[in-house]
Amino acid sequence: MSESTAAGITTAIRVEALDAGCDDAAGVLAQRLGLPLGGEAAYAVQVGGDGLQFAELGPQASGPIRVDFLSGAVAHRRQFGGGSGQMIAKAVGVQSGVRPTVLDATAGLGRDAFVLAQLGCTMTLIERQPVIAALLEDGLARALADPDCAAIIGRMRLVCGDAIALMRDWEGDPPQVIYLDPMFPHRDKHALVKKEMRLFRPLAGDDDDAPALLEAALALASHRVVVKRPRKAPAISGMLPGYALEGKSSRFDIYPKRAMK
Q: For residue range 159-188, what is the model confidence (pLDDT) as tens digits?
A: 999 999 999 999 999 999 999 998 754 444
Known binder of ligand: residue 23? no
In what side-by-side order are the strands of the sheet with 9-17? Answer: 3-6, 9-17, 43-48, 51-56
What's the pLDDT at 125? 98
Known binder of ligand: residue 111? yes
Q: For residue range 67-89, what is the model confidence (pLDDT) as tens digits?
A: 999 887 776 667 666 678 899 99
Q: Work out the number of other CB atoms within 10 angstroms of the CB of residue 143.
A: 22
In DSSP terms, 156 is beta-bridged to 123
Instruction: Report how many helices (DSSP H) and strands (DSSP E) the chain contains, helices first.
Output: 9, 11
Known binder of ligand: residue 127? yes
The structural domains of the chain, with segments of one domain joined by +, span 3-56, 72-256
What's the pLDDT at 10? 45
Identify the segments of the chain with pLDDT beneath 70.
Answer: 1-11, 75-77, 79-82, 184-197, 201-202, 204-207
What's the pLDDT at 143? 96
Task: Judge whether 133 and 162 are in contact, CB under 8 Å.
Answer: no
d(CA 15, CA 36): 6
Task: Judge whether 138 and 67 are in contact, CB under 8 Å.
Answer: yes
Task: Judge whether 30 and 98 are in contact, CB under 8 Å.
Answer: no
Known binder of ligand: residue 112? yes
d(CA 64, CA 70): 17
For domain 72-256, the CATH class is alpha beta
Q: How many residues does the chain have?
A: 261
Q: Are strands 250-256 and 224-230 parallel, antiparallel or unpaired?
A: antiparallel
What's the pLDDT at 87? 94
